[in-house]
């Protein structure tokens, strides 16, 4: 406690880092981790949540005007960094199995793999994706797709930014291997978060990536946030030490069973209230259901209308690179509301939709 009240290491408290290194080894077993002679050797630092690490990675890798490949639709965090940076976001559309490698190939077809060797080329340097239980879609990239995407990244020399806070919330086991576990070249920067498995208010996560890149981020930390919150780190370290690695994994399993039950109940209420009014796919994990409202071009009015009645959904356009374009989608989160509240909320949404037609 006394140490955590003073300035501490920018890379995070040693005890927490060591715990996390062992977790990454057990869960992802990244190739060449711990081999200082290998270019794919990895380093790990504790971060002030994934959001801060995401911002620092993007700002470290990209310059104004750069092209960058972004899963679409996706978590709007990167938009907030890339718009002011004047980067050109190229959408790579996702479907029920996450980002489609064919769409990535198509997006890259403007360039040839040779362009990656030309420093004046405008070939994208980075691909951003949320591979597991995507926010907003709830879809997971399959291993086959990950392998295809990794191969394309090798061909075009892309860095993959794997933003994976929902990794432990996949409904089916075994968990799909991560990009990190496939990374034989040192081209994956992986963001993990304690927000979805312990608490978001702690503002803690961890970044795993090739040593030179992680070192670059660390310099940014030194001169910005200094280090992640000492108090939060002490708290999390003592909880994790008590649980142990097996305990953490077992607790994550319990959490995902809890979320899956909630999701199942939510799907029953969706069938009851929204059949014929909307379409949705069953999420593969996480916290969200991505719903397409039928017969409308844009969901903003409906979302505003139900908000007046005490129900909050997020409009689909927020998750698209061009957020000014209309979107008939809404994102439902089934975590915080009780089943009774979800039933009521969906009946209110159904009433509003029936009034629209
Ligand atoms: C895909 C994604 N990345 C990052 C974050 C932010 O995570 P953190 O709380 O660790 O900053 C979220 C939060 O909703 C998210 O959905």
Closest to 76 (Cα-Cα) out of 63, 89, 86: 89
Q: Are 259 and 224 within one domain?
A: no
Which atom in ligand 1 lies closest to the alpha carbon of residue 134? 1
Q: Are 181 and 237 within one domain?
A: yes
Q: What is the predicted pLDDT for the residue at 239?
A: 97
Q: Where are the alpha helices (DSSP H) in 70-166?
A: 77-82, 101-108, 143-155
Answer yes or no: is pLDDT of 6 > 70: yes
Q: Are 43 and 112 within one domain?
A: yes
List the residue whose alpha carbon is closest to atom 7 of ligand 1.
Answer: 50
Alpha-carbon distance values, 285 to 255, 321, 341 (Å) = 11, 24, 21
* Residue 338, in any domain of the structure: yes
Answer yes or no: is pLDDT of 227 > 90: yes
CA of 297 to the centre of ligand 1 (A): 28
CA-to-CA distance for 21 and 37, rounded, in angstroms?
18
Q: What is the predicted pLDDT for the residue at 133?
A: 93
Where are the extended beta strands (E) located within 24-86? 42-47, 67-72
Q: Are 169 and 87 within one domain?
A: yes
Answer yes or no: is pLDDT of 266 > 70: yes
pLDDT top residue among 195 and 32: 195
The CATH number that applies at residue 299 is 3.90.1150.10
**Residue of 133, 139, 165 to mutate, ligand 1, most atoms within 8 A of C-beta:** 165
Q: pLDDT tens, 67-87?
A: 999 999 999 999 999 999 999
Coil, strand, or helix at residue 243?
helix
pTM: 0.96
Q: Are 232 and 295 within one domain?
A: no
CA of 205 to the centre of ligand 1 (A): 9
The domain boundary residue, chosen from 241, 276, 296: 241
Q: What is the predicted pLDDT for the residue at 1?
A: 82
Domain total for the chain?
2
Q: Are 222 and 146 within one domain?
A: yes
Query: Span 161-182, mean pLDDT?
Result: 96
Alpha-carbon distance values, 122 to 8, 70, 84, 184, 185 (Å) = 40, 16, 19, 25, 22
CA-to-CA distance for 171 and 125, rounded, in angstroms?
32
Q: Are 219 and 304 within one domain?
A: no
Which atom in ligand 1 lies closest to the alpha carbon of residue 204? 10
* Residue 37, in any domain of the structure: yes
CB-based pocket (< 6 A), ligand 1: 49-51, 75, 77, 130, 135, 163, 165, 193, 195, 200, 205
Q: Are 82 and 67 in contact (CB under 8 A)?
A: no
* Residue 207, in any domain of the structure: yes
Q: Where are the alpha helices (DSSP H) in 275-338?
A: 300-308
Q: Are 41 and 127 within one domain?
A: yes
Give the number of other Cβ atoms within 10 Å of residue 145's Cβ.
20
Which atom in ligand 1 lies closest to the alpha carbon of residue 130? 1
CA-to-CA distance for 207 and 296, rounded, in angstroms?
41
Q: pLDDT tens, 93-113?
A: 999 899 999 999 999 999 999
CA of 131 to the centre of ligand 1 (A): 13
Answer yes or no: is pLDDT of 120 > 90: yes
Q: Are 225 and 260 within one domain?
A: no
Q: Are 117 and 149 within one domain?
A: yes
Q: What is the predicted pLDDT for the residue at 4?
A: 84
**Residue 258: pLDDT band with limits 50, 70, 90:** very high
CA of 264 to the centre of ligand 1 (A): 23
Q: What's the chain's average pLDDT?
A: 96
Answer yes or no: is pLDDT of 237 > 90: yes
Answer yes or no: is pLDDT of 187 > 70: yes
Q: Are 98 and 194 within one domain?
A: yes
The CATH number that applies at residue 126 is 3.40.640.10
The domain boundary residue, chosen from 241, 264, 289: 241
* Residue 94, in any domain of the structure: yes
**Residue 357: pLDDT band with limits 50, 70, 90:** low
**Residue of 58, 74, 77 to mutate, ligand 1, most atoms within 8 A of C-beta:** 77
CA-to-CA distance for 135 and 224, rounded, in angstroms?
28
Element (DSSP H or E) covering residue 61 = helix 49-61
CA of 119 to the centre of ligand 1 (A): 32
Q: Are 84 and 185 within one domain?
A: yes
* Residue 247, in any domain of the structure: no
The domain boundary residue, chosen from 184, 208, 241: 241
**Residue 243: pLDDT band with limits 50, 70, 90:** very high
CA of 193 to the centre of ligand 1 (A): 7
* Residue 246, in any domain of the structure: no
Q: Domain range spanning residue 177? A: 2-241
Answer yes or no: is pLDDT of 144 > 70: yes
């Amino acid at each position: 406690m006394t140490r955590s009240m003073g300035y501490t290491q920018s890379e995070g408290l040693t005890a927490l880092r060591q715990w996390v290194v062992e977790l990454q080894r057990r869960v992802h077993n990244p190739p060449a981790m711990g081999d200082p002679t290998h270019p794919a050797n990895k380093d790990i630092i504790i971060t002030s949540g994934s959001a801060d690490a995401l911002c620092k990675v993007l700002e470290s890798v990209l310059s104004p005007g750069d092209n960058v490949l972004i899963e679409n639709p996706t978590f709007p965090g990167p938009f907030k960094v890339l718009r002011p940076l004047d980067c050109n976001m190229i959408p790579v559309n996702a479907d029920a199995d996450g980002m489609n490698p064919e769409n990535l190939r198509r997006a890259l077809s403007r360039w040839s793999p040779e362009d990656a060797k030309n420093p004046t080329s405008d070939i994208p340097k980075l691909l951003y994706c949320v591979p597991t239980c995507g926010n907003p879609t709830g879809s997971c990239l399959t291993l086959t797709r990950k392998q295809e995407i990794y191969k394309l990244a090798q061909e075009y020399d892309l860095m993959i930014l794997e933003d994976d806070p929902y990794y432990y919330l996949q409904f089916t086991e075994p968990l799909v291997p991560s990009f990190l576990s496939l990374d034989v070249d040192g081209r994956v920067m992986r963001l993990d978060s304690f927000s979805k498995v312990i608490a978001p208010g702690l503002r803690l996560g961890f970044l795993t990536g090739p040593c030179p890149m992680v070192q670059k981020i660390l310099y940014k930390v030194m001169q910005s946030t200094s280090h992640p919150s000492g108090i939060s780190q002490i708290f999390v370290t003592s909880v994790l030490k008590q649980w142990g690695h097996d305990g953490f994994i077992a607790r994550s399993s319990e959490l995902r069973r809890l979320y899956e039950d909630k999701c199942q109940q939510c799907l029953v209420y969706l069938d009851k209230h929204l059949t014929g009014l909307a379409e949705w796919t069953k999420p593969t994990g996480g916290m969200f259901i991505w719903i397409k409202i039928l017969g409308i071009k844009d969901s903003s009015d409906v979302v505003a209308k139900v908000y007046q009645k005490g129900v909050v959904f997020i409009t689909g356009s927020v998750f698209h690179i061009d957020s000014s374009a209309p979107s008939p989608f809404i994102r439902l989160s089934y975590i915080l509301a009780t089943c009774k509240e979800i039933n009521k909320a969906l009946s209110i949404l159904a009433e509003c939709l029936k009034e629209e037609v």
